[in-house]
Amino acid sequence: MVEVTVTPQSSLADRPVQIRVQGLSPSQLVTLRAWLKDEQGECFQSRAFFRADEAGEVDPGLHAALGGSYSGVWPMGLLWFLQPDTLFRRLVKRDVAGSPFRVRLEVLDGLSLGTDPREQPLASCEAERWYVGPGVQRVPIREGRVRGALFLPP
């Protein structure tokens, strides 16, 4: 049974995570796809092609991506190379304290280039990427023409 995991499942957006796929056949070609919808409903996604090792595992921190959104060894590549489906959109988190970005990670059999919603992943999981840690207080700043926010640790 194929399984994809993200460790830790919930983390701050600037912290590294480990992505692992287990249960594949040795040397199996797979596509790892990451996608999320921002607060306006815009979809951002990335994908990378991998060949499983002799144990049937893929770890983007150890194994080089053969192509897709990037190539080579990039442990966080699936998160760093997220691109909008609509040109000229930017991935911006507006409500930094209220909710995380929920990134969906999927493992697809073979080399998958399409975005066919009927395409069934072999495995999937979800990771939360928070922009403000627990207990951090956000204080709005308005002084003259200056606007901003002060984030105070607990």
| Residue 117 reports pLDDT greater than 80 | no
Residue 139 near residue 152, CB atoms below 8 Å: yes
- Structural domain including 27 reads 3-152
Question: Which CATH number does the domain housing residue 97 bear?
Answer: 2.60.40.2240
pLDDT on residue 116 = 64
Condensed to tens digits (0 to 9), the pLDDT of residues 7-51 reads: 999 999 999 999 999 999 999 999 999 999 999 999 999 999 999
Length of the chain: 154
Angstrom distance (rounded) from CA 34 to CA 152: 32
Torsion of CA 59, 65, 70, 71, to 10 degrees: 130
pLDDT digits (tens, 9 = 90+) for 73-114: 999 999 999 999 999 999 999 888 889 999 999 999 999 887
In this structure, what token pair is assigned to residue 113?
A: 């280039």
Domain count, the chain: 1
CA distance 50 to 110: 9
pTM for the full predicted model: 0.88
